[in-house]
Amino acid sequence: MSQASDDDPWLGKVAEFPAILHARASLVYDVTNETLQKTLIHCFCRFQGSTRPIELSLSDDIGYVNGRVSFRVGVGHYDGFDILDTREEDRVLRRIISKGIFQTLDLSFDLHYKVQSLDRHRVASDRYLTRLTFQSDRAELLVHHLKGLKRVDPSEMVQLLLDVTNAELVSKGFSEISIEESQAS
Q: Is 62 exposed, middle or buried (0-12, 13-18, 19+ CB in 10 A)?
A: exposed
Provide the 10 A C-beta neighbour count for residue 49: 11
Give me the residue spans of the domains in the chain. Answer: 23-184
pLDDT, residue 57, reads 73
Q: Note the pLDDT of residue 158.
A: 96
The residue among 109, 112, 115, 80 whose CA lies nearest residue 22 is 109
Q: Which CATH number fits domain 23-184: 3.30.1370, 2.40.160, 3.30.720, 3.30.530?
A: 3.30.530
Residue 4's pLDDT is what? 45
Instruction: Enumerate residues 6+ apart whose C-beta is below 8 A from 180.
Output: 25, 26, 27, 28, 138
What pLDDT score was predicted for residue 60? Answer: 61
> Which pLDDT does position 40 carry in this prediction?
97
Q: What dihedral do alpha carbons 122, 126, 127, 133 form, nearest 10°?
A: -160
**Residue among 107, 82, 103, 97 at smallest CA distance from 35:** 97
Return the pLDDT at 61.
64
Which 3 state secondary structure label does DSSP give 135? strand
Mean pLDDT by 10 residues, the chain (185 residues): 60 95 96 97 94 79 80 95 96 95 97 79 88 95 95 94 96 95 51
